Structure 1
């Protein structure tokens, strides 16, 4: 299959930048991740079978590349990045310290609860909320029916909610 990378770049740059920025929280790092994503895609262009899955395929590459980038940076700096975790949760950093601590603890509880879910549910929640993929894109990545993905995400969220509230009550 012949791919026009100029067209792909113009079609998917913004989407990949948003995914990369949501993970790296730095404009310049996000741009680097997007460039690296397109380089990887160019090198693996022969592996894509359906043109319709291109967006989801590139999104997964961008997310994984951004996560790898963060891991490399974390190893280099060895600085805790709770601040970034709070931002990922959508909280403003203008909160008082008590609210930031509570938010951090809640985030830890949620992560622990996610870790207790079956692998398939963990994967679905990570694709949905961490990587920001839509149900249809997740269905393409996992080769599932979109309605099945919606149902499984609903069940995973319901189970996660129960797990988080059980730890609060106990």
Structure 2
């Protein structure tokens, strides 16, 4: 595949019988999918299992992709419904904020990492924990806009809202996220500001 091939071209070719090209879509979106699944579960193994399930479901439903929105928008919908279904089946208990698994990623990283890289991961984890404290709709908005890099119009399509409504709700969700961070992560926020 040449690097200029867009998602819709790959999908057309896969649907015409070039199934091996689906691996290119998986490579292109594996980090996107895995990052979102990690926001639903703190277990790396569960996130990997969910991500694999997402790509299987997406492959089986590829003929249903109409190209009216970006592939990532369509894929995000599959990711969120798969995560919710997985969590319902597993009936996970809510993890407390002092759960040691939250720090697994930083502790398991190579000791050769520079201090500022570890600090950056810690900040990202703090933000992810704060996002988990939000309502599902607020978390979805934040994830779609910042992680999924979806436009207001695309978020509107996913959530069944007008773009202006999305803009207002996103503004409110960011404010609630800020409030959660200032309430639950007082020291961490102070450290970031210094």
Q: Do both share a fold (TM > 0.5)?
A: yes
Relative to its length, the structure with more helix (as a share) is 1
> In the TM superposition, what are the counterparts of 1:39-54 in structure 2 within 5 Å?
39-50=56-67, 52-54=69-71
Asked if structure 1 preserves the Cα contact closer than 8 Å seen for 2:37 and 2:51, the reply is yes
Structure 2-normalised TM-score? 0.52
- Which of structures 1 and 2 has the larger relative contact order (alpha carbons within 8 angstroms, sep 6+)? 1
Structure 1 vs Structure 2 CA RMSD: 3.7
> Which of residues 53, 56, 79 in structure 1 aligns to 2:73?
56
Match of residue 83 from structure 1:
96
Gaps of 5+ in 2: 1-10, 15-20, 103-124, 178-194
1:133 match: secondary structure: helix
Q: Give the paired residue count.
A: 129
Change (3 A) 1:155 1:27: closer
Change (3 A) 1:17 1:51: farther
Asked if structure 1 preserves the Cα contact closer than 8 Å seen for 2:141 and 2:173, the reply is no
Give the CA deviation at 1:139: 3.3
> In the TM superposition, what are the counterparts of 1:12-27 in structure 2 within 5 Å?
12-27=29-44
> Which of residues 126, 133, 136 in structure 1 aligns to 2:144?
133
Change (3 A) 1:127 1:91: closer
